[in-house]
């Protein structure tokens, strides 16, 4: 119920719950780093949501790589 993101707090933007902040592409505040699932600021913590966000982050990473 609580994300294990303490080690990331100096590197990525996290909210007051320790959830990694991601945009609609799964991008974090650090360019080229993507996150998905319960450790992010997703509205709902359910398996199907985590799976979808994994797909989103993978596509976001692919899009980032082909553009850079
Ligand atoms: C008791 C309970 C019941 C639930 N019941 C349901 C349900 O009925 N239906 C439903 O849809 N959802 C349910 N959920 C929610 C569902 O389990 C989660 O939404 C889903 O598992 C999130 O997937 P995830 O891959 O984001 O995270 P997780 O499944 O939590 O996977 C994260 C993984 O990362 C690993 N990890 C953490 N830190 C590190 C690190 N520093 N280095 C390496 N590995 C690390 C962890 O060990 C874990 O294996 C339930 C959750 C709980 C706790």
Domains of the chain (ranges; CATH) run 6-67 (3.50.50.60)
Mean pLDDT of 13-33: 98
Collect all residues with Cβ–Cβ distance below 8 Å to 35 and sequence separation of at least 6. Answer: 12, 20, 22, 26, 28, 57
d(CA 37, CA 29) in angstroms, rounded, equals 16
Q: Residues lining ligand 1, CB < 6 A? A: 4, 37-38, 45-48, 50
Prediction pTM value: 0.95
What's the gap in Å between 28 CA and the centre of ligand 1?
Answer: 19
Calculate what percentage of the chain has a pLDDT beyond 90.
99
- Three-state DSSP class for residue 14: strand
Query: pLDDT, tens digit, for every residue of 25-54?
Result: 999 999 999 999 999 999 999 999 999 999
């Amino acid at each position: 119920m609580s994300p294990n993101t303490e080690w990331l707090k100096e590197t990525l933007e996290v909210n007051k719950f320790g959830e990694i902040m991601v945009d609609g592409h799964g991008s974090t505040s650090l360019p080229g780093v993507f996150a998905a699932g319960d450790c992010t600021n997703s509205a709902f913590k359910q398996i199907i949501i985590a799976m979808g966000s994994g797909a989103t982050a993978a596509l976001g990473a692919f899009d980032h790589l082909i553009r850079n």
